[in-house]
Homo-oligomer: A and B are copies of this chain.
Amino acid sequence: MRLSELSRRSGVATATVKFYLREGLLPPGRRITATQAEYGEEHLRRLRLVRALIQVGGVSVASAREVLAALDNDSLDQNDRLGTAVWALPHGKPADPDDPATETARQRADRLLERLGWGYGPLADVTPPAYGMLVNAIATLERLGYPCAIEDLEPYARAMEQLAVNDLDLVERYGGTADEQVEAAVALTVLYEPVLLALRRLAEAEESRRRFGTH
């Protein structure tokens, strides 16, 4: 397909597609004349992923390039490509190492993960950024005096454990080659985050109405 069709089918403006091509986020098309190139389904798929990362994930162009490099790294297996790509997503500010709440939170996160029997994901000899994100979130709860005991946190972890099975079932149902599935897994990680947060707020409103509603 031509650039105009690629733009139409992806819903991404041609100027933006050209920008992504210039920035190397999209591989060049097969040149057919001096001014025109032909793009395939793999361009469309890649373009959708780039869009998800940048528009919803708030990923910078540099980080998006890192995510894509992980996906294209043929020396990694499917699990490591997925893990490395997710690691390149933004994870918020790291926890303040000088704050005593950080050390408490770290111990609590470690005990929680031990109880869950989770490793640290694909590259177990280093800690993934999501671990730092968890420690930071627990440290904030701790510092502000809100409940964050292991018993408080565990139900959230169990729910996410079930949803992770669902996430990857969704990816496998999505079908395609191993490459396509890894791309979809990264996109769905990012794109289902606002779904989850919106549904949680709606579910809380419903539960609050049941418990506290007076009219």
Contacts and interface: CB of A to CB of B under 8 A. Distances in A.
Contacts of A137: 56, 191-192, 194-195, 198
B195 A200 contact: no
A145 B52 CA distance: 11
Contacts of A162: 155, 159
Q: In terms of DSSP, what is the predominant structure of the interface of chain A?
A: helix
A118 B200 CA distance: 12
Given A146-B188, A153-B195, A193-B197, 10 more contacts: A48-B146, A52-B140, A77-B213, A82-B212, A134-B198, A137-B192, A155-B166, A156-B192, A161-B206, A164-B203
Interface of A: 10-11, 48, 51-52, 55-56, 77-79, 82-83, 86, 89, 91-92, 99, 101, 113, 118-122, 128, 130-131, 133-134, 136-138, 140-141, 143-147, 152-153, 155-157, 159-168, 170, 173-174, 184-185, 187-189, 191-209, 211-215
6 contacts: A48-B144, A51-B144, A55-B140, A113-B202, A119-B209, A155-B163
